[in-house]
Structure 1
């Protein structure tokens, strides 16, 4: 793949010290691993559709003359950008890169908490956006559930340490 060298450089930035470690091919192609990433990608597609839907709702409201708070616009932009990043992590993790699996798992566990806390702040978002955030969080929890399964944690376990 001609772009792979560019992706490897990006991986080095995003993955740090662990950027060069990938799981073995048999683990990557294991049916449970493939099934988990298939579900994760579909859940991310749902997240993308949800985020795009939020943009459409905000645009329709704004064009219709309703005031759309700045926080709603920021939320929609952040969700779409974040989802694009999660797609990248999911893709690289499905290729066996441990760093990407770890980033995806971390964000899938943290984002629902942040999203639900923000949704609980009275008056920050309109009711439709609070509902969107709750659905977003539930989908992210589903992604986290796949990533924290016994199989996935064992598949992406830390490499054995080498003695100095």
Structure 2
């Protein structure tokens, strides 16, 4: 079953009018590009594991009678959903879609800032979650670093205006 037509519709929603714009296939296939995406995929996989670990910790605490505030549960589910979205962007960027690279680059810069600001609010989250948020942010900063390299910006540069 070919999912590509459905994914192209989803791309149109996520990527807007430039959803079909792709980078030069030769540059996308370049070893440096592929190596960067391998690292990005591994970093995002670690993010998912951290999110799942936070979910397990929350359930264990809840099972032992600890009442966790609503923001703790919301953050766990939002981070998991957000990380899965980043995986989708990374996967589509690996296939050369410029919009996906752009979204991944943008969100890998914004999410750490939001996460660190929320972690700095006294009493909003328990200490273990604040620690998890800091680690989460540092890993996303690593993703942003790969995406901001000169090579990756060259691969996914804006197409020349006609």
TM-score by structure 2 length?
Answer: 0.99
Q: Counterparts of 1:109 and 1:21 in 2: how far apart (Å)?
A: 22
The CA deviation at 1:32 is: 0.6
Name 1:39's counterpart in structure 2: 39
1:7 paired residue number: 7
Count of matched residue positions in the alignment of Structure 1 and Structure 2: 162
How far did 1:76 drift?
0.3
Could you tell me how far apart the structure 2 residues matched to 1:32 and 1:16 are?
A: 28
Q: CA RMSD in A?
A: 0.7
- Structure 2 equivalent of residue 48 of structure 1: 48
C-alpha displacement of 1:116? 0.1
2: CA distance between counterparts of 1:157 and 1:100? Answer: 12
Distance 1:43 1:16 in 2: 27
Residue 24 of structure 1 and its aligned partner are, at CA, apart by 1.6
- Name 1:20's counterpart in structure 2: 20
Residue in 1 aligned with 2:95? Answer: 95
What is the SS of the residue equivalent to 1:20? coil
Deviating 4+ runs (over 4 angstroms)? none
Cα distance, 1:25 vs. partner?
Answer: 1.3
Distance 1:122 1:80 in 2: 23
| Structure-2 separation of matches of 1:17 and 1:161 | 15
Aligned to 1:58: 58
Normalized against structure 1, the TM-score is what?
0.98
Q: CA deviation at 1:160?
A: 0.5
Q: Which runs of 5+ in 2 are unaligned?
A: none
Residue 50 of structure 1 and its aligned partner are, at CA, apart by 0.1
- Cα distance between partner residues in 2 of 1:91 and 1:127: 33
Structure 1 equivalent of residue 121 of structure 2:
121
Secondary structure of the residue that 1:35 maps to in structure 2? helix
Q: For structure 1, which runs of at least 5 residues remain unmatched after alignment?
A: none
